[in-house]
Structure 1
């Protein structure tokens, strides 16, 4: 349905003129799309939106949709041009540019996530590959490549993460007792998650622990407080520095070492290996090597505990080589595995055995909701750190997309317990 309303046109919070072209070239300068292509995109979208529970309003007062959460389009030409040229990547860039907004961003994205197939007419679906960016060869997760992408995307200042994470500085799914969760419960939920992982790994006095992915040191601190000896590895120099300060402040510096290295460079054997949301970053190509590393570093009879973001198996073929908005702007190089892919990799490439698997997807959705709210509440402080409006919109869109992924079931979180057979293969 399409009609008009008597209402003032909304103005974009960010305009293309306000976007720094040196920092955000693809956001500041929309792709050159022909008038015909833009018009076709607009017509296809309007026709498709008539069938979904969403309400899209345009600056001229017209609207389309069957009702539901509202998406406000401030610059229809740029909005349609970006989508017509770059698909989902263009849709995200359009949000970064302030060309559209939503009072309830998660609700809008949830509708879109659940109706993607209806938004693209069946005859046009095979053409998606024409505008869907492909993963560049430079983003392969070789040892050098992963250092480059990590430095570019994960070495954002610690002060930025401190603004929206809780006091544990834990950037992974928490484990709540119930929903909905509140901010004051987040730190306890993070400790509950960490303690559960350490319990699964059998960490106690004298346990030799290898942690793959230090974060800011909270898991290493809690493992060392149990009397374990911890070797933690990370690719982020800035996070390593803060983790070492936090470990020292806890009086545990003699029990924990934090090394700046890739997981492929780890040496020695350990009673327990723990990895929290790092295995997704290696990508499908290097996943077998990652699991062989777990096996090689684990002493016979030891335990490996992995918390991993997973993707539904049916979506894996479509995303294996894609380079979507998140890969372009936040997390390059990685690909969440499916549960089936993990099982096959472990079976075919290691002598590890899956002893237990638990699902935490709903908990990650709540964690992300709390982070997103905190980030919004502290927008002025984020700006004071030097992050412009385009970055703040990017990060808000990222957190919202991830939350929708977990709420819709497209993404999930698994806690795995792997044990190592004592005999050779």
Structure 2
């Protein structure tokens, strides 16, 4: 796959069976990598008694849990073969974790990688399920987790809402507390009768457990029980997946195009506003110089006065042209914002100054390694967000 920031792996020979495509998204440390390994072992029919396991994703043990184990958007195409436990081929799109210690710039890179994958000629054009991977124990969403949810939702078109699925990791037999947190956050997704998100629970703790009896461990112990429970949950998920309608990513591609156009416009506006303010200052200084000359009556001073006036006129012309250009870009940006409001599941959280302030305060409070640099990046993004807010309100920038 020759797509910037993306890689692809094919498992088995191309099959004529129907293909299902799922995308796994979530915060760093949510258990996506282990879940993918669990999915592949179930699909190919690995049993508890087998003395082997498959591992599609090899977690880098040298990396901190606070840093995503995946650096690129990775596409795994698992072509159906005789003996599989699923009646279809499966494409898994695994994304790097949002909200890791590398900060906001890394999250922007991930969004760009996803845009590349969806926009490329040989990329991904349709999907069955957009899966949020969340740990069961999160009783409420932290500022970072809410940011992750909103960041992901802002990438997709509104027509994806019914294809959003919640995959709960590290789950036991109880109702996962995270469901109430997701409900409170207003994530658009299919709901149960009691208003909670339709969800699938997973616990892959026994995936790589020792299955040979030894010592005091009895055959058929807790690990085997968790394995069997996991297999049942996998089956439930894949049965449901087979019934989900495939949806085109056309609207999502438009969301990503509009976002990209808006980002380019805002960055350019920032530069032009600085240039415009510098010209205003030059006009002020030159006008002050002209005022000082007004008291002089000599011919030379009169000549200087005309020269200074010519400079002011030239600066005013340049400033007017700049104003016209800024106005045109602002109008284009307003169209982007309005269109995104119509088609995107959520606004980009990085377009809201107050939202960014919460992330800045969190960084200052936690003071994790590299926090000062991350705050600097957030402040840069905040400047763009303030500019976007002014555009939304129709304020003059110059």
Using the size of structure 2 for normalisation, the TM-score is: 0.26
**Bigger Cα Rg:** 2
> When you count strand as a share of all residues, which structure comes out higher?
1
Using the size of structure 1 for normalisation, the TM-score is: 0.24
